[in-house]
Amino acid sequence: MNVLVWLAGILLVLMIMVGGKSGARSFFSLFLNFGVIFFTMFFMLDPSANPILITFIASTLIGCISLFYINEVNSKTIIAFISTIITIVILLSFIVIVSDKLMIQGFGEEEEEAIAGLSLYIGVDFMKIGASVIIMSTIGAIMDVAISIASTMHEVFKHNPVLSKKELFKTGVSIGRDILGTDTNTLFFAFFGGYLALLIWFKDLEYSIGEIVNSKIFSSEMILILCAGMGIALVIPIASWINANFLVRTTKKTEKI
């Protein structure tokens, strides 16, 4: 416990040294987001609750904390928030359909021993829980891309206000292309790094490549990675389009005044 406190203290000091007040807010936002996730899990235990709706509400709260609390309320954070919410709605709808078609909900045969002494009648829709897990795992990356595009496009337009809506949109997409590759790889290695023990387990069980690819656990993890990549790819044009429209419209209104 003492080690955890020391590590938290070192992280706080480093974040304040680098980010100042914004760094301190970023540190405390970790605890606020943890609280949101904790209550999300608590509400999902209710059999009558809809995990998809709860996930959407939780994502909205996390977006407010991560964007408005850390970076304050301004045009950049508002646009990034709207772009994030639109992307999450599209992604949630898609994930629910994909999860249902692939039938990856529930437990795989590798987990039989672990759950042998547990009751399986817990009244939870595992398909919707799976969709919730994917969204909660990707919301951070989606917000990161959205705010990066919004900040850069605002800065570009500030130094070159004669750019048209089309040119601004192309600029946003160009910025997004540079972010897309690195963020997708980051998610890929984060997920596979966390499940390295699973791959070693498969090797220990002498699974063939075909058995690994067709296993429920591996499929669910691959869906997590692929859907996360899709979320990042989706938010780029959405954020670019909203930013381009906002910046050009605001300039026209200012000129009329």
The tens digit of pLDDT for each residue in 145-167 reads 899 899 888 888 888 888 888 88
**Helix 75-102 and helix 51-63: axis angle, to 10°?**
160
Rounded-to-integer distance, Cα 113 and Cα 142, Å = 37
pLDDT tens-digit readout, 89-122: 888 888 777 766 665 555 555 555 555 555 555 5
Residue 81 has pLDDT above 90, yes or no: yes
Q: Mean pLDDT highest for which of 26-30, 49-53, 77-81, 177-181? A: 77-81
Residue 88 has pLDDT above 70, yes or no: yes
The mean pLDDT value for 211-226 works out to: 72
The half-sphere exposure of 226 on its side-chain side, counting CA atoms within 13 A, is 10
Residue 11 has pLDDT above 80, yes or no: yes
pLDDT at 226: 80
Residue 254 has pLDDT above 70, yes or no: no
Residue 5 or 82, more confident: 82
pLDDT at 83: 92
pLDDT at 241: 93
Residue matched to tokens 């000129």: 255
Of the listed ranges 16-30, 145-159, 205-219, the one predicted with least confidence: 205-219
Q: Which residues contact 2 (CB under 8 A, 6 or more apart)?
A: none
Q: Which two tokens stand for residue 239?
A: 């954020």
Confidence of residue 28 (pLDDT cuts 50, 70, 90): confident
